[in-house]
Structure formats: C-alpha cells, structure tokens
Amino acid sequence: MNIDSPAGSPQSPLPKPARRLLLRSALTGAAAVGTALAVGASPASASPRTRPRPTTPEEALRTLAAGNARWRTFREKHPDETRAVREELVSGQHPFAVVLSCVDSRVPPELVFDQGLGDLITVRSAGEVLDEAVLGSVAYGVLELDIPLILVLGHQSCGAVRAAVESDESGERLPAHIQYLADQIAPAIDHSKQGEERIDATIDANIRRVRSRLASEPDLAARVSAGRLAVVGARYELTTQLVHRVD
C-alpha cells in the first residue's frame, strides 16, 4: 500500500459549525453513558492503555500499510481479538486511525487492513458522502480520542459513484434518499472522460474532494497544521486487494 506520506489540502469549510459542536458534544455524552450502562463502570471514552499503538500520522500509515500487505498476500494475523484484549477494552479505547469508507460489503476496513478490536474507528457511508452525522463521527475520533490519522478510502467499481454519474448523464432522478448521495457526489464527476473511464476518474476525484473537505474543517485543520493529524485519500482495488494513495 503506497500511503506513506501524510497530507491535507484545505478548501472551503463545511457549514453549520454550531450544529457540529452540538453533535460533537452529544456524541461524547452518548459514548460515556453507553459505557456506563454496558459495563456498570464510570463513564470513560479512554483509559490508560497497555498495548502500544501508533501515535503519529506516519506510524499509523505504516501500520495500515503492513496490514494491507498481509491481507492481499493471505497472511492475515487477525490481531487484537484475544480475551485479554476484550477485557482491556471494557474500560476504554485507543484506536489509532479513523477510516471513512464506502458501505460496500466487499471493502470492510478491519479486514482490508488486518486490524482488530479497538484499532480503528470506522465510519461508512455510500461513496464516502459527508453529512453532519458522518462529519461528527469522524471529528469525535480525532478530537475526543486523539487519533492522528483520517484515511478516506474509496474503491474500484463504486456503485454509489456509478449511480451518480449515470443519473447525471440521463437526467433521471434516483429513488428516495439515493438521490441525496448522487447530489453530493455530482461535483466530483469528471466530464473530461467518457464511459467507464468517467466513473473510474470520478471515484478518485470524489476521494480527493472528501479528503479536502475534511482537512479544511477548522478543528481538524488546526491539528493538521500542528503535525498532529494527517488526512489522507486512498483507494482499494477489488482486483488486487491493494490500497494505494490518491493524491
């Protein structure tokens, strides 16, 4: 996996900062209440960790790259699934990366990167589309759990991107809430290409756009500038199982 260098490209920030702050506060409170109800312990989103984890963007990228290498060569370790790990995680979590990926059943992040319990915060939406819930979930991982890496993971043959491109070309509306997804992806459509090349190019353009929007969020951008966070775009190839960088 060629994703070794951290990056973030600020563009226009997403709107409604007040709503984002409210959502972030709600997520923090909900996580604490959920922990207390589930295990009968004091609310906590993190606790002293006994397992080492990557603490810098570069270390996090190298760990994901190593896991993807194991996955695509059928040498998975299926780490962090033991009884000891499960017991440790009762009192808190210390994941090292947020992976924002598509909902496609063929691209589960924990498998693609050969990671286990407590290693990743995974946020999934069709076509990696951002809305307030998705943005709040990503921000929660970074701001509350001090995660050093956000990876925006698109993939080959994305159905959401295909639907957006075909709807744009035909002018036909898509059913129910699927049209919302298409509308969000539409600005990334590469009209310089035709046919399958247009769909493929749009997949990459959409990854770049989502990455840039996240990197431009004020709270996240401040961490990028300080070297505490990287926002990286990457793509998973179904044919080879390789994850590679999309700059």
Nearest alpha-carbon partner for 218 in 54, 18, 58? 18
- Residue 44, pLDDT score: 40
Annotated binding-site residue numbers: 102, 104, 155, 158
**What's the CATH number for 17-245?**
3.40.1050.10
- What is the C-alpha separation between 181 and 129, in angstroms, rounded? 7
pTM for the structure as a whole: 0.82
- Quote the DSSP letter at residue 127: G
Tokens of 129: 């589309």
Separation CA 17–CA 36 (nearest Å): 29
| Under 8 Å between Cβ of 102 and 153 | yes
CA distance 8 to 99: 15
Looking at residue 85, what is its pLDDT? 95
Q: Tell me what pLDDT residue 6 has.
A: 53
Output the pLDDT for position 8.
47
Print burial letters for 124-145: b (CB count within 10 Å at least 16), e (below 16): bbbbbbbeeebbbbbbbbbbeb
Average pLDDT for consecutive 10-residue bins of the chain (247 residues)?
Answer: 55 46 42 34 48 93 98 97 95 97 98 98 98 98 98 98 98 96 98 97 98 98 98 98 97
**Residue 246 has what pLDDT?**
98
Neighbours of 12 (CB within 10 A): 8
Six token digits for residue 221: 């951008």
Measure Cα distances from 216 to 20, 129, 151, 186 in Å.
Answer: 14, 16, 15, 20
Q: Which residue has the tokens 């159905």?
A: 159
Q: At what angle do helices 195-215 and 159-170 cross, to 10 degrees?
A: 110
Binding site residues for Zn(2+), as ranges?
102, 104, 155, 158
